[in-house]
Amino acid sequence: MAKETRRRVYEFMRNQIRAGSVPSVREVQRAMGFSAVQSAQEHLDALVADGFLEKIPRISRGYRLPERSVSAFMIPLLGRVQAGGLVDAIEDREGYVAVDIDPSRRPLFALRVRGESMKDAAILPDDIVIVRQQPSAQHGDIVVAMIDDQATVKRLRIVPGPAGSSRAELHPENPEFSPIIPEGDLHILGKVVEVRRQFETSVFHEDSIP
Amino acid sequence: MAKETRRRVYEFMRNQIRAGSVPSVREVQRAMGFSAVQSAQEHLDALVADGFLEKIPRISRGYRLPERSVSAFMIPLLGRVQAGGLVDAIEDREGYVAVDIDPSRRPLFALRVRGESMKDAAILPDDIVIVRQQPSAQHGDIVVAMIDDQATVKRLRIVPGPAGSSRAELHPENPEFSPIIPEGDLHILGKVVEVRRQFETSVFHEDSIP
DNA sequence: TTGACTACCAGACATTTGTCTGGTATCTTC
DNA sequence: GAAGATACCAGACAAATGTCTGGTAGTCAA
């Protein structure tokens, strides 16, 4: 029937693309048993017109699934963040974590939480925080900052200082810990945008990369 | 340096492929600024030889990431899970969530937490739980179960019953709530494998001076 | 009928693309 | 210095590929 072939074309494309390889027009032709390229082309055009597929003109294998637009990204899970901040720490990655925020707009990284200082904010040891890299933050944000050559997760508070000035403090969310009042500059690595707790390990550990 | 270019080629390929489009050799050439196709080709060949890439000969854009590489998956974030369980609820999706667990092995779904009954387990209202679909679970697991036509997140406890039998109970982690002792069958939707909390990320985010 | 529309076919053309041969410059290693 | 290895360049060719023009057969509705 009419509609039947189109459905077969769509399912062929969807399965192939999900499996990781985009068919060319002639591969669709062969898969469907058409003896003309144009037959496959027209079905593909129709699927694009109906929004079932997207295509990049003129490039080979340029068809995409629209739901790819909600795509996922992998960001590095850093092991330790030490002196020198991220520049050095980037090389010390523990694995990768999947996020659905586009990291190309603003760099993201992930960090494993140590210690119980944020317990009352429901952030526990071994949780993973997703951090958006930025040099400053607002009052009330949960941030990652460098304290004594170690990355620490705390809540940022901006308190009024003498003579109308203001000062940044790092507050834990656990009465057993004390606030940190930095003496000099406060080196903020970024703002925590998400917290994750995994009950099963699923982080990818890489061996080596060229 | 020598290795530096190869790394750039690899990362270009990896990012492009993960983003859903496999570059052609000449696209690599242009991206790297080579004036000869062969330069890109040789780097790709070397990456294939070292196992960092795989390729299908003679077909355009035939490079793949090896199986062991990380990939991210998108799973549905269900709005409400009601009577009938997941089968009906699948159509009531609120969005998608990125995970790095392969959902083809065992179905996964995500659910937004309501209520404070798991507060002491550091699971707060509006948190998102990633659930692996399974009809049963073990003592101590945090599960999603159907209670009164509503999906609820609780800790599962198997307690000894009369005459050597055992009974399942659903325990909140908040003293203000009472355990649920199901009368009939306990309908478990799945086991919570991850908890996520997203802090609101304003589009108009201004950095203030810390 | 006519006209439109759809599905498919036949053949062709210009790019794109994978692949190949050979060359240059710069290293290291013996 | 010679030999080998590496990284890159120059140019080319055949196959793969996107795209186009025009044609046939069937359906459906006015």
Nucleotide nearest to B44 (CA to C1'): C18
Contact by Cβ (8 Å): B113, B128: yes
Nucleotide with the nearest C1' to A33 CA: C8
Per-residue pLDDT at A207 exceeds 50: no
β-pairing, A128-133 vs A142-147, is: unpaired
Query: How far apart are the C-alpha atoms of A199 and A12, rounded to whole Å?
Result: 37
Distance A39 CA to D21 C1' (A): 14
Q: Quick one: tokens of B40?
A: 């890109």
A72 Cβ under 8 Å from any chain B Cβ: yes
Interface of A with B in 90-129 (CB under 8 A): 96-101, 119, 122-124
Arithmetic mean of pLDDT, A57-71: 77
Average pLDDT of B189-204?
73
Q: Which residue of B has its CA nearest to A145?
A: B210
Q: What pLDDT shows up at residue B199?
A: 81
Sign of the four-CA dihedral A138, A127, A185, A90: negative
Of the pLDDT bands very low, low, confident and very high (cuts 50, 70, 90), residue B65 is confident
CB contacts under 8 A, A 5-24 vs B, are: 20-22, 24
Angle made by CA atoms A90, A91, A95, in degrees to the nearest 5: 80
Residue nearest to nucleotide D9 (CA to C1'): B36
Does pLDDT of B179 surpass 60? yes
Indicate if the pLDDT at residue B84 is higher than 60. Answer: no
Q: Do B210 and A124 touch (CB under 8 A)?
A: no
Res. B182: pLDDT tops 90: no
Residue B122 has pLDDT above 60, yes or no: yes
Q: Using a CB-CB distance cutoff of 8 angstroms, which residues of chain B are in contact with residue A135?
A: 207
Q: CA of A200: which chain B residue's CA is closest?
A: B193
Residue found under tokens 């140590």: A114
Q: Is A35 tagged catalytic?
A: no
Residue A120 pLDDT > 50: yes
What is residue A74's three-state secondary structure? strand
Strands B54-55 and B63-64: antiparallel
What distance in Å separates the CA atoms of residue A53 and residue A46, rounded to the nearest whole number?
9
Mark yes or no for CB contact B196/A200 under 8 Å: no
What pLDDT does A173 receive?
92
In angstroms, the CA A104 to CA A74 distance is 11
Chain A, residues 31-50, CB within 8 A of chain B, namely: none
Residue-wise pLDDT for B133-165, tens only, equals 888 888 889 999 888 777 889 999 988 877 777
**C-alpha–C-alpha distance, residues A186 and A190, integer Å:** 12
Higher pLDDT, B44 or B209: B44
Q: Do A24 and B60 touch (CB under 8 A)?
A: yes
Q: Please check the confidence at residue B209 and state whether its pLDDT lies above 50.
A: no
Candidates A60, A154, A166, A208; catalytic one: A154
| Contact predicate A206/B69, CB 8 Å | no
Provide mean pLDDT across the span B100-110.
73
Q: In this complex, do B100 and A200 lie within 8 Å of one another by their Cβ atoms?
A: no
- Of the two residues B205 and A191, the one the predictor is more confident about is A191
Distance from CA of A163 to the nearest CA of B (A): 16
H or E element, residue B162: none
Question: How close is the nearest chain B Cα to the Cα of A136, in Å?
Answer: 6
Contacts of A12 (CB under 8 A, 6+ apart): A23, A28, A31, A32
How far, CA to CA in Å, does A13 sit from each of A47, A68, A72, B74, B161? 10, 13, 20, 19, 54
Sign of the Cα torsion B201, A77, A170, A123 reads positive
DSSP H/E element including B156: strand B150-160
Nearest to A64 among B18, B20, B64 (CB): B20
Model pLDDT for residues A71-110, shown as the tens digit of each residue: 567 787 886 554 444 444 444 556 778 887 766 667 888 8
Taking contacts as CB-CB distances below 8 angstroms, the residues of chain A near B97 are 100
Q: How many helices (H) and strands (E) does chain A have?
A: 4, 10
Q: Judge whether residue A165 has pLDDT over 90.
A: no
Cβ-based neighbour number of residue B50 at 10 Å = 12
Please check whether strand C approaches the CB of A121 to within 7 Å: no
Query: Is A191 an annotated catalytic residue?
Result: no
Name the residue closest to C26, CA to C1'. B2
Instruction: Check if residue A71 sits with its Cβ under 7 angstroms from strand C.
Output: no
List the A5 CA – C7 C1' distance (angstroms).
10
Q: Are A106 and A130 in contact (CB under 8 A)?
A: no
The residues of B carrying an active-site annotation are 117, 154
pLDDT of residue B26 exceeding 80: yes
Instruction: Determine the Cα–Cα distance for residues B136 and A160; give it in Å rounded to an integer.
Output: 54
| pLDDT given for residue B207 in this prediction | 30
Query: How does strand B54-55 pair with strand A187-198?
Result: unpaired
pLDDT score recorded for residue A174: 92
B38 is near strand C: CB distance < 7 Å: yes
Residue A210 has pLDDT above 50, yes or no: no
pLDDT value at B102 more than 80: no
Mean pLDDT across the stretch B112-130? 88
- Could you give all domains of chain A from N- to C-terminal order, each with its CATH number? 2-68 (1.10.10.10), 73-196 (2.10.109.10)
